Every structure is written in C-alpha cells, then in structure tokens.
Amino acid sequence: MAEHLYITRDEWNQMQKHIAFLTEFVKNSLKQSGKSRWVSPQEAMELIGCKKTKLAELRYSGELEWKTLGHGKGVMILRKSIDEFIQKNSTQLRVA
C-alpha cells in the first residue's frame, strides 16, 4: 500500500532552501578537506610568502611534496607539506 505525503508550497520552498544550504555546506567541506589537498604553485607561494625560486628550491630539496600534472601542464603542491613547512619554520623562528 503506497503512502502519500502532502506538503504546502511554503513547506516545499522551505525544504528547497534547506537542501540548497546543505548542498553548499557539503561542497565547502569537500573543498576544505579533499579538493584543496593539492594547491597550485601560486597558492603555495602566497601561503609560504616566497617567490618561484624559493618554491622550486623547497620542492627539489624534498621539503614540499609535489606532483606533476603531466606533459608540461604544471605541478601541484601537497597542502599538508606546506602546513608542516610553515609550522616547522615558525617554531624555529620562535626558538632562535
């Protein structure tokens, strides 16, 4: 036996607003957790406060984890390695 639920137009509109809010919340959560796991070199330079040369030095020395996008399409830097680098260097600055 099928059951039916009837709602008013106002209830429907309110439900749509809640769904839109939850959708945006989930999108933002994914962006912060998974999607922004890798950042562009430009974002990395802004986060660290350095220029291209220093960023390349940090990549090649192994202080930052990075990956190539293939066939000359650029690189991405692991956000976690940037955060660890900043934490490590801010601690060294406080000790000195």
Predicted local confidence at residue 33, as pLDDT? 58
Judge whether 86 and 50 are in contact, CB under 8 Å: no
pLDDT at 8 over 60: yes
* Six-digit token string for 49: 């406060």
Q: pTM of the predicted model, to two decimals?
A: 0.57
Q: What is the mean pLDDT of residues 33-56?
A: 88
From first CA to last CA, the distance across the chain in angstroms is: 75
Residue 77: which residues within 8 A CB-CB, separation 6 or more?
A: 38, 39, 40, 41, 43, 44, 55, 59, 64, 65, 66
For residue 53, pLDDT beyond 90 = yes
Contact 79, 39 (CB under 8 A): yes
Query: Distance (Å, rounded) from C-alpha 83 to C-alpha 47?
Result: 9
Provide mean pLDDT across the span 77-90: 91
